Chain A
Amino acid sequence: MARRRLAVRSSVCRSYLPLLALGAALACSKQKAPDEVAQQGPSPAMTPMAGRSNGGAIANEAEDGQWVRPAKNYASTRFSGLGQITADNVKNLGVAWTFSLGVLRGQEAAPLVVNNTMYVVTPFPNILYALDLTKPGAPMKWEYKPGPIAAAQGVACCDVVNRGASYADGKIVYNTLDDQTVAVDANTGKEVWKTKVGEINLGESLTMAPLIVKDKVIIGNSGGEFGIRGWLTALDLGSGKIAWRAYHTGPDSAVLIGSRFKPFYAADRKPNLGENTWPGDTWKIGGAGAWGWISYDPDLNLIYYGTANPGPWNPEQRPGDNKWSSTIFARDPDTGEAIWAYQLTPHDVHDYDGINENILLDLPFNGRTRKVLIRPERNGYIYVIDRTSGEVIAADPYGYVNTSTGVDLKTGRLKVAEEKDPKMGKVVRNICPAAPGEKDWQPSAFSPVTGLLYIPHQNLCMDVESVEANYIAGTPFVGMNVKMSPGPGGNRGFFDAWDPVARKLVWRLTENFPVWSGALATAGNVVFYGTMDGWFKAVDARSGKELWKFKTGSGIIGQPMTYRGPDGKQYVAILSGVGGWSGAIVAGGIDPRDSSAALGFVNAMTDLPGASTKGGTLYVFALP
């Protein structure tokens, strides 16, 4: 291992080529009209330097003006090569048409566009709408109602959200709250298959958007606040039959850890850590679902995703590292076998639930291009990880963190500030970041044109008091009284542009409320995001200057996307409808006079009901 350690040391030396990167990007944008870039896919001029991800995942996905999965591409950049809407003309953007979803809960999904049809999934009851983009006003083609069991709403920790669908092979595939994965014929709206994959009476629910890799639909469960046993599962795209399931706790055989498992750090190589790092049988109810994002590298044939928090939140009921909670896994999508794993937050004590997006880029570090995974993590650090090996190259804070002092790059271990650990019978105050972390599920975007990562996130701290959690299957298993507050400065949200090569903040916008929407980057050098008081904003990708904004009917916590319509014009779409964990005070009508309500989030959001009411509307924008 001596050689590997050496590699760690040399790679952290600060030697980057950010200037060269910027130069390449500028050259590129000068040489080609943005829309040409769009037509041709990534150009050679855009290759290796611009802190960009080509050569791998993106290169195989030329820009076709569509949006077939929530993250746009397998590398999860949420970057569109469409460039008709530019920093110069975005000020003329206006509403093209709208559509009421008929459901007034948190709208977290990304609309999809495939073959001139838009597909939108609602929160529970998880209706799927197909809208015909070839006709004026995009009328409904069909709707599909999966009819999920209403009782499932009782096991959804943080509003009854759904994060969207994926398209492949003529099918729209998505999850319902009551643990069913459904495939619907994209043309007719007829159900192709429906598979029950979990059990609400064990606290399991499904909220994430599946990723389809080759002939596999990959999904994971939610329920880290309900004593579930977390898993990732692959279904056959054709039949819906379960192909494999990898648990995140338990013996190696259940975690699909075998001979191909080569974690980078020695401490992770012992057998059956998913069982031995828990007291007794607590791994059976230890949480660690997978309700966030999955990325895929076709060259390495590996999928990447993070596992959720361990349960219960009360850490004294589960001494040990609690593997494999809050962990990034690299797995073979064909067999589910684990290739490497890295635990971001061992023995998580603050609900630093590790499901955030992994953006796959090829970046210059120390003079050579490395295949990395960039990850703005809940625990407050942006990780740069070698995605071939699981080696942490860098981990830099991107907000105020007092629960740890950094990441030890020799061992990969988070250096925890133990004075912020919850203790029974004691109130621990000013824990930053709070339980939703520095950034929650809301996905970032990366532009290969600017080489910048655009990160929507929050600025919250909390006071906690741990109490004994009582396991009753199908009911919450938390054991923590939480009270959140705005972090230092008082604004609860940030929208950052981060240079992953120079590893530093380039610009930052402050928002009053947490920025709970995803980000969208475009070749027109316009970046989009929404706010919880209903503004949909366009900012300059290079400077962060606000270029345009529109007030939608309700707060925005959705994922913006863009597409080319049948008329050749570029459109931008977003769902408006506040909710989710942060917006539960509105969507769930929570009473803020109890500051521990909604797992303590309410205390930081007492003014949201005055800023937004419930909603559920799709807005689509275009230039005149």
Chain B
Amino acid sequence: MNADRRTRIKLVGVASLLALSSLVACKREQRRFRESPPAATSANNVSMSELQPGPAVTNVQLRDPYEDNAYAVAQGKQLFDQMNCSGCHSHGGGGIGPPLTDDEWIYGSDPQNIFSTIVEGRPNGMPSFRGKLANYQVWQLVSYVRALGGLQGKAVRTTRDDHMMYKESEQARDKGHPTPTFVPPTSVKQ
């Protein structure tokens, strides 16, 4: 193997790496300018249970058009505040509603599950936002909610907040459950 050939292999390697990363980056940075009209998609094929009577049937996976898309996650983050999601779920830790930052997903964590939860509402207090948001906005919210739970790639999760420091950024924390602590929080001084 001569030096020239080795260089060529290296070059091909670098080029293919570049091509691959640009593909990923493309998805991450992608902006869509032609969104479907609100009624064009729905989540009719969603199952909330893993249990199926009889032989297993593969569910039709509804595709989240914004999975791994940083722009959508950022838009979703804005909507999360604007639509008062944060009123109940706080900044992911929960309050009136359950936390979205932990590992427990009462109604499923797949994009289509979260989509249905937002549109349909859920019986124990989650309001139905049907008709209040365009579908693409719901998908943007789905993307952000999954980012909160650490279910999106690290590269697309949002970074720091321009707010009081109330939690680590979505990017800084991976999926997982909080562990109990036995140490009281620090007190203020008089």
Q: Find the A residue at minimum CB distance from B162.
A: A425
Residues of A contacting B91 in the complex (Cβ-Cβ under 8 angstroms): 481, 594, 596-597
Q: Find the B residue at minimum CB distance from A513.
A: B184
- Can you pick out 21 interface pairs between chain A and chain B where the beta carbons lie within 8 Å of each other? A150-B123, A150-B124, A151-B127, A152-B125, A154-B127, A470-B82, A474-B127, A476-B84, A481-B163, A481-B166, A483-B164, A488-B187, A492-B184, A590-B90, A590-B93, A592-B178, A597-B92, A597-B93, A597-B99, A598-B95, A607-B183
Of the residues A151, A467, A492, A584, contact of B124 by C-beta under 8 Å: A151
Residues of A contacting B189 in the complex (Cβ-Cβ under 8 angstroms): 488
Judge whether B110 is part of the interface by a CB distance below 8 angstroms: no
Judge whether A512 is part of the interface by a CB distance below 8 angstroms: yes
Shortest Cβ distance from residue B171 to the other chain A in the assembled complex, whole angstroms: 14
Residues of B contacting A152 in the complex (Cβ-Cβ under 8 angstroms): 125
Within 8 A of A (CB), among B146-190: 163-164, 166-168, 173, 178, 180-190
Q: A153-B125, A607-B182 are in contact. Are A594 and B90 (CB under 8 A)?
A: yes
Judge whether A400 is part of the interface by a CB distance below 8 angstroms: yes
Task: Decide if A606 touches B84 in the complex (CB within 8 Å).
Answer: no
Shortest Cβ distance from residue A493 to the other chain B in the assembled complex, whole angstroms: 11
Judge whether A609 is part of the interface by a CB distance below 8 angstroms: yes
Q: How would residues 99 to 120 of chain B score, 1 for a CB under 8 Å from any chain A CB and 0 otherwise?
A: 1011010000000000000000
Residues of B contacting A599 in the complex (Cβ-Cβ under 8 angstroms): 90, 95
A395 and B92 CA atoms in complex are apart in Å by 40
Shortest Cβ distance from residue A124 to the other chain B in the assembled complex, whole angstroms: 9
Task: Decide if A150 touches B167 in the complex (CB within 8 Å).
Answer: no
Task: Decide if B184 touches A607 in the complex (CB within 8 Å).
Answer: yes
Residues of A contacting B185 in the complex (Cβ-Cβ under 8 angstroms): 485-486, 603-607
Judge whether A526 is part of the interface by a CB distance below 8 angstroms: no
Q: Find the A residue at minimum CB distance from B188.
A: A461
Within 8 A of B (CB), among A430-481: 430, 432, 461, 463-465, 467, 470, 472, 474-478, 481
Residues of A contacting B94 in the complex (Cβ-Cβ under 8 angstroms): 588-591, 594, 597-598
Residues of A contacting B84 in the complex (Cβ-Cβ under 8 angstroms): 470, 472, 475-477
Q: A150-B125, A477-B87, A487-B187 are in contact. Are A596 and B96 (CB under 8 A)?
A: no
Task: Decide if B93 touches A593 in the complex (CB within 8 Å).
Answer: yes
Judge whether B43 is part of the interface by a CB distance below 8 angstroms: no
Shortest Cβ distance from residue B166 to the other chain A in the assembled complex, whole angstroms: 4
Residues of B contacting A472 in the complex (Cβ-Cβ under 8 angstroms): 83-84
Of the residues A427, A590, A603, contact of B95 by C-beta under 8 Å: A590
Q: How would residues 492 to 505 of chain A score, 1 for a CB under 8 Å from any chain B CB and 0 otherwise?
A: 10000000000000
Of the residues A478, A594, A609, contact of B167 by C-beta under 8 Å: A594
A589 and B82 CA atoms in complex are apart in Å by 24
Judge whether A602 is part of the interface by a CB distance below 8 angstroms: yes
Within 8 A of A (CB), among B129-156: none
Residues of B contacting A596 in the complex (Cβ-Cβ under 8 angstroms): 90-91, 93, 164, 166-167
Residues of B contacting A475 in the complex (Cβ-Cβ under 8 angstroms): 83-84, 87-88, 127
Most buried by B among A153, A481, A591: A591
Q: A154-B88, A596-B91, A597-B90 are in contact. Are A591 and B124 (CB under 8 A)?
A: no
Task: Decide if B90 touches A593 in the complex (CB within 8 Å).
Answer: no
Task: Decide if B163 touches A478 in the complex (CB within 8 Å).
Answer: no
Judge whether A490 is part of the interface by a CB distance below 8 angstroms: yes
Q: Find the B residue at minimum CB distance from A461.
A: B188
Task: Decide if B104 touches A154 in the complex (CB within 8 Å).
Answer: no
Judge whether A173 is part of the interface by a CB distance below 8 angstroms: no
Residues of A contacting B187 in the complex (Cβ-Cβ under 8 angstroms): 485-490
Q: Is the contact region of chain A dominated by helix, strand, or loop, or is it mixed? A: loop
Q: A154-B127, A475-B88, A591-B99 are in contact. Are A485 and B93 (CB under 8 A)?
A: no
Task: Decide if B188 touches A430 in the complex (CB within 8 Å).
Answer: yes
Judge whether B126 is part of the interface by a CB distance below 8 angstroms: yes
Of the residues B81, B166, B181, contact of A595 by C-beta under 8 Å: B166
A512 and B178 CA atoms in complex are apart in Å by 22
Residues of B contacting A589 in the complex (Cβ-Cβ under 8 angstroms): 94, 98-99, 102, 104
Task: Decide if B88 touches A476 in the complex (CB within 8 Å).
Answer: yes
A470 and B182 CA atoms in complex are apart in Å by 37
Task: Decide if A151 touches B123 in the complex (CB within 8 Å).
Answer: yes
Residues of A contacting B188 in the complex (Cβ-Cβ under 8 angstroms): 430, 432, 461, 485-488
A589 and B87 CA atoms in complex are apart in Å by 16
Chain A residues within 8 Å of chain B by Cβ, number: 57
Residues of A contacting B126 in the complex (Cβ-Cβ under 8 angstroms): 154
A582 and B190 CA atoms in complex are apart in Å by 22
Shortest Cβ distance from residue A84 to the other chain B in the assembled complex, whole angstroms: 38
Task: Decide if A483 touches B127 in the complex (CB within 8 Å).
Answer: no
Judge whether A156 is part of the interface by a CB distance below 8 angstroms: yes
Q: How would residues 380 to 407 of chain A score, 1 for a CB under 8 Å from any chain B CB and 0 otherwise?
A: 0000000000000000000010000000
Residues of B contacting A605 in the complex (Cβ-Cβ under 8 angstroms): 185
Question: A477-B84, A611-B182 known; 19 other A-B pairs, CB under 8 Å?
Answer: A150-B125, A154-B127, A157-B96, A400-B190, A470-B84, A472-B83, A487-B188, A490-B184, A588-B96, A590-B99, A592-B181, A593-B178, A594-B94, A597-B94, A597-B95, A604-B185, A606-B181, A607-B181, A609-B180
Shortest Cβ distance from residue A587 to the other chain B in the assembled complex, whole angstroms: 11
Most buried by A among B127, B164, B180, B181: B164
Shortest Cβ distance from residue A482 to the other chain B in the assembled complex, whole angstroms: 9
A472 and B129 CA atoms in complex are apart in Å by 11
The 5 tightest CB contacts between A and B, nearest first, are A594-B93, A476-B87, A154-B125, A597-B93, A486-B187
A604 and B125 CA atoms in complex are apart in Å by 26
Of the residues A463, A592, A610, contact of B93 by C-beta under 8 Å: A592
Q: Find the B residue at minimum CB distance from A602.
A: B93
Judge whether A155 is part of the interface by a CB distance below 8 angstroms: yes
Q: Find the B residue at minimum CB distance from A613.
A: B180
Q: Find the B residue at minimum CB distance from A603.
A: B185
Task: Decide if A154 touches B164 in the complex (CB within 8 Å).
Answer: no
A467 and B184 CA atoms in complex are apart in Å by 29
Task: Decide if A610 touches B182 in the complex (CB within 8 Å).
Answer: yes
Q: A472-B84, A596-B91 are in contact. Are A488 and B164 (CB under 8 A)?
A: no
Task: Decide if B124 touches A594 in the complex (CB within 8 Å).
Answer: no
Q: Find the A residue at minimum CB distance from B161.
A: A481
A151 and B187 CA atoms in complex are apart in Å by 37
Of the residues A154, A400, A463, A594, contact of B92 by C-beta under 8 Å: A594
Residues of B contacting A485 in the complex (Cβ-Cβ under 8 angstroms): 185-188
Q: Find the A residue at minimum CB distance from B189.
A: A488
